Amino acid sequence: GQQLNQSPQSMFIQEGEDVSMNCTSSSIFNTWLWYKQDPGEGPVLLIALYKAGELTSNGRLTAQFGITRKDSFLNISASIPSDVGIYFCAGPSNAGNNRKLIWGLGTSLGVNP
């Protein structure tokens, strides 16, 4: 079945640094979604990508939809302590119901102030 592989699994950076994480799959996705989950809370949608090659920003966050439609990356610039959390990529299943999302296992981000 479809799978999303996220890397790195975890990272710790200094406040002010930029960070990059990615999400890859062996199968094609037509939409890529990036979510952030804070401890004890539900995931919050950060960026949605709908077209191959698309580059979209949301404040200090930038995400790209890979041209092959098999990958996506998320960059965070000038990190701050509140960026701490788990970042998930997700994409619609291509089997039947396309509102069923397939999720990666997440990248855990720690920021040292």
Q: Is 29 in the site for another protein (CB under 8 A)?
A: no
From 16-24, 35-43, 51-59, 68-76, give the range in contact with another protein by CB under 8 A: 35-43
Q: Are strands 85-92 and 44-49 parallel, antiparallel or unpaired?
A: unpaired
- Per DSSP (E only), the strands in 1-113 are 5-7, 10-14, 19-24, 32-37, 44-49, 55-58, 61-65, 71-76, 85-92, 101-103, 107-112
Stretch that binds another protein, among 22-30, 40-48, 55-63, 67-75 (CB under 8 A): 40-48
> CB under 8 A: which stretch of 17-25, 37-45, 64-72, 74-82 binds another protein?
37-45
Token code pair at residue 2: 């479809």
User: Minimum distance from CB of 78 to another protein (Å)?
Assistant: 25
Could you say whether residue 85 binds another protein (CB under 8 A)?
A: no
